[in-house]
Every structure is written in C-alpha cells, then in structure tokens.
Amino acid sequence: MAMVTSQSSSKASRVGSVRSFALSDGNSFYCSCERVFDPRLARVPVIVLSNNDGCAIARTPEAKALGIRMGEPWFKIRQLCRSEGVRVYSSNYALYGDMSSRVNEVYRRFSPRIEVYSIDESFVDLSDVRETERAELARDMRETVRKWTGIPTCVGIGPTRTLSKLANHIAKKHPELGGVCDLTDEQERAAWMGLIPMQEIWGVGPATARKLEAAGCDSVADVRDLDPRMARKSMTVVGERLVYELRGIACLDLETVAPTRKGCAVTRSFSDRVEDLAVMEQAVAAHASRLAEKLRAQALGTDHVTIFFHTSEHDRDGPQRSVSTVVTLPEASNDGLVLLKAAKFGVRRIWRDGYRYSKAGIISTDLVPLEASQRALIGAFDRERGGALMDAVDACNRRFGRGAVVSAAAGLERERSWSTKFEMRSPRYTTRLDEMPVVAAC
DNA sequence: TCTGGGGTCCTAGGACCC
DNA sequence: TCTGGGGTCCTAGGACCC
C-alpha cells in the first residue's frame, strides 16, 4: 500500500495492518457537565455561552429543538431563551476540563492506546479487540462513563479515523442505535455512505465542499469513489488521504503521546471597547502573564511574541484598524514579568489614539523546551531568580486559585474595566474547595 | 550566441477543527 | 449596546546557499 503522507513518517508503523478506531464524544458536552451537578437541568433546554458571553457554543437537544443554532450571538437569542425558559450558562472551563480528564480516565480502562483529541472527544484504539466484540465493548464503555462521571456519550467505530468520525455522526443522529454505531462491516458501511451528504465528512469545510460539488459529489460514497490522484490535484494531499480513509485504508494513526505544543496564544474580546492606552497596556499585560503561565506549565519558552489588537467589523460607523508587532527577546523565556514587559513595549509601539478597539492578544509560535534553549551572550535573563519567583507565584495560584498573585501591571480584578464577562458561570464544583457542592443527608 | 540545478528555510495565507 | 478562543496542517513563493 502506498503511504499517503506529505512527509515520510515512521509513526504510522501500524498503518497497513487491519485497524479499528472508536471515536467517543460527550453529548452536548458543556451542557452535560452542568447537568451533572444540577439535576433540575435534566430534560430542559440548556445552553453554554462562549467566552465573554458572546454566543452559544453548546446546546442540549431541547435547545436545538427551539432553533438555537451553533455560534448564534447571545443578544439575538436572549429574548427567546427568556420566554422559553432556557437555562443559560457562561463557560466554566475549570469544570469542563476536569470532567474531561475524568472521562478519559474511564476510556483508558478499555484500551491502553487512546488519543485525547479535544476536550470532549477521544479516539480509542480497538485494533486488538475481536471484530464481533467491539460494539459490545463500546456499549460497556459508554455505560461506565455514564455511571462514573454522569456524562452521556456516543461512540463510532470504523477501520480509519475518518470512518470512526462518520460512525460517531451516525450514532448521534440515530438514537435508535443506542449511542453506538459500528461501521466495520463493509456492506453496512456502504449503505450508510450513500445516505450521508459529503458535507458531514470530517475535514470537509465550505471550501472543500464547493470543490467536491463541482466534481459531482453529493454523498460520502461519491467522495469515496473519486480517483485519489484527481483528489490530490484539486485538494492536495489532504484530499487524497480523505479518499483512502473513506475506502477503509488508514492514513492517519493515533497520536497517543501528545506532541510538544508548537504555538500558544491568549486573546480576548473586551467587554467594553478600549480607547485608552493605559487600559490596553493593562489588558495585554494580563494576557502576557497568562501566556507565561501556560508556557511554564509545559516547561516551554519563547523568544518572540506577537502583540495585536483591532477594532470590530461590527462597528460599521467607526474607523477600522488592525495592527500587530513582533517583540523579540534576547533569549527564550517563560517569565511572566519578562513577557509582560515585552507586551507593554509592543502595545506602545503600535498604539494609536482615536479608535475603539474590540480585541487584543498575544501570540507565540515556535515554542522551545526552555531547558534546551540557546542562552543569550548579551542580555540573558536571570533565570534562577526569575524562575524561583515564578515557581512561588504558580504555587500560590495553584493553592489559592488563579489570580491570587498577579503583577500589579496586569491590574487587579476590580480595576479591570476591559475584562471578559462570565455573568452566568456555575460554580467550579470539582476544582475549588470553596465552590464544592454541598449535600445534606438525613 | 550565451546566464544551472538543486537544496533548505522561512513566512504568509488558506483551510479546517473543536 | 451585544457577534469566542485556540489550535493544526498544507502549500506557494521568496531568500539564500553551494
């Protein structure tokens, strides 16, 4: 079998042998997390809003039935939610992240090889499970997750990652399957593929869908039957792999060990527009501190950061401006004070009065393991002192909660006029002692 | 008259994902 | 009034090198 990959790769060592993947994901995951801790939410419409309470990013079936779409802005659905009694929550990532790791702990009991693909989805390798036993194992896994964490899931099984995603899609759309769909059988698979529109394929977005349409594709089966060479011509190696994956030939293997992160960013929309340099400095400084924290958690560093801010396209009347600048450091660092200083420097460099800025951020690409990074001959940071200080800051924040110790330059909570809205956040039940649910037994 | 060939690295931009 | 945040991969094209 020809390896369909853009670069020679040895990690797909098992590619070619018969594989089986299960994709398990949490149903309306964020909403389900909220339901675990509040039984009153069962069977009523629930939605969770994005950062800044901007738009709906998770909806229970009851909320979907009311016509609330994915990504719909909050201000457009507020009335509907009020009149229909929809329970609305701000994002509570501390809770969702913790619930996610609990769910993954359960998956690990069913297979030694799992890939945590996103906060609510994981691939589970079932290659060593007998074909006839896979669906049963999936049902068992699903029940165990439900019992131990309270999260409802759906599982799709297939010989490639793409087909397991497709199976998962079917499991979700067809409740009569009991939350598990196994596409191992070729005939059964072919029947389903003829029924599902190609837009549902994992990896097909609007641009690819237009190309596929032009090529006469309507269903998933049509894409499977494309000539792989033609697919490569119009859709690059990504398109060619897609065709093979749909044919049951695995081109993508599991990443069971999370690869070192390549980039990291902290960006936020402001709750109110920012027109003042001092406020912008404070906001970006806070983002920089947070970025440094994220890098420290993974022992990574960066020797340059991009600072950006821009106005909003939705402010039709005002003048528009979008700027960015790269600030280079003498050597890689993850010291909060170093990145904060770089951030403020960058902001001042590109600041211009007279605009109503809506969003700002700090981005770092090309992360390096800090210990292995090249030291500067001139301008090296005092890593011993800086590192000890940051260790102490991290320890305090772990113990007393994020934000317990911050740089004054990044602003205290109460003076942050720019900060993000979380007006309807539920308690962080599982990660904060003071927000733990209290149960009375009598 | 006539001006190589092949490689790497970097960046920007497009596309897609959750 | 009000429209999220944070990632990955791939390609083309330019700079540069020998």
CA A363 to C1' C9, whole Å:
18
Per-residue CB contacts under 7 A with strand C, chain A residues 297-356: 312, 314-315
Say how far apart CA A100 and CA A394 lie, in whole Å: 23
pLDDT band with cut points at 50, 70 and 90 for residue A355: very high
Quick check: A259 CB within 7 A of strand B?
Answer: no
Residue A3 lies in a domain: no
Work out if A209's Cβ lies within 7 angstroms of strand B.
yes
Confidence class for position A107, pLDDT limits 50, 70, 90: very high
Judge if the beta carbon of A39 is closer than 7 A to nucleic acid strand B.
no
Is residue A397 scored above 90 in pLDDT?
no
Let me know whether A147 and A47 are in one domain: yes
Does the CB of A118 sit below 7 A from strand B? yes
pLDDT higher than 70, residue A44 = yes
pLDDT at A6: 43
The reply to whether A441 has its C-beta less than 7 Å from any atom of strand B is: no
Compute the mean pLDDT over every residue in chain A, rounded to the nearest whole number: 91
Q: What's the whole-number mean pLDDT along residues A206-217?
A: 95
> Are residues A219 and A324 located together in one domain of the fold?
no
| Residues A163, A193 within the same domain | no
pLDDT in the model for residue A373: 81
Please say whether the dihedral angle defined by the alpha carbons of residues A380, A385, A389 and A391, taken in this order, is positive or negative: positive
Whether residues A99 and A153 share a domain: the answer is: yes
CA of A304 to C1' of B12 (A): 17
CATH number for the domain including A235? 1.10.150.20
Query: Do residues A126 and A206 both lie within one domain?
Result: no
Region of A114 on the Ramachandran plot (φ > 0 left; ψ -120 to 50 alpha; else beta): beta
Nucleotides of B under 7 A from a protein CB: 14-18
A75 touches strand C (CB under 7 A): yes
* Domain coverage including residue A295: 263-374+381-411
Question: Could you identify the residue whose CA is nearest to the C1' atom of nucleotide C3?
Answer: A73
C1' nearest to CA of A367: which nucleotide?
C7
Tokens of residue A349, six digits: 């460099």
Number of structural domains found in chain A: 3
**Percent of chain A scored above 90 by pLDDT?**
72
* Whole-number distance in Å between A119 CA and C4 C1': 16
Q: Is the CB of A109 under 7 A from strand C?
A: no
Q: Are residues A214 and A301 in the same domain?
A: no
Query: How far in angstroms lies nucleotide C5's C1' from the CA of residue A182?
Result: 33
Considering the domain architecture, whether residues A98 and A65 belong to the same structural domain is answered as yes
Q: What pLDDT band is residue A317 in, cutting at 50, 70 and 90? A: confident
**Alpha-carbon A289 to chain mean position:** 21
Please check whether strand B approaches the CB of A24 to within 7 Å.
no
| pLDDT value at residue A3 | 44
Residues 6+ apart with CB under 8 A from A115: A122, A123, A254, A255, A256
**Which pLDDT band holds residue A17 (cuts at 50, 70, 90)?**
low
If pLDDT is split at 50, 70 and 90, which confidence band does A206 have?
A: very high
Query: Residues A374, A379, A382, A386: is their CA dihedral positive or negative?
Result: negative
- Please report which confidence band the pLDDT of residue A10 belongs to, taking 50, 70 and 90 as the band edges: very low
pLDDT for A13 beyond 50: no
Please indicate, yes or no, whether residues A25 and A165 belong to a single structural domain of this protein. yes
pLDDT tens column, A64-93: 999 999 999 999 999 999 999 999 999 999
Q: Which amino acid would we find at residue A169?
A: H
Which CATH number goes with the domain that contains A75?
A: 3.30.70.270
A12: pLDDT strictly greater than 50: no
**How far, in Å, is the CA of A131 from the C1' of nucleotide B11?**
47
Residue A73 CB closer than 7 angstroms to strand C? yes
3-state secondary structure A21-74: EEEEEECCHHHHHHHHHCHHHCCCCEEEECHHHCEEEEECHHHHHCCCCCCCEH
Residues A108 and A197 in one domain: no
Task: Specify the nucleotide whose C1' lies closest to residue A49 (CA).
Answer: C4
Alpha-carbon distances of A33 from A1, A40, A116, A370, rounded to whole Å: 43, 13, 18, 35
Residue A402 has pLDDT above 80, yes or no: no
Dist CA A51 CA A74 (whole Å): 11
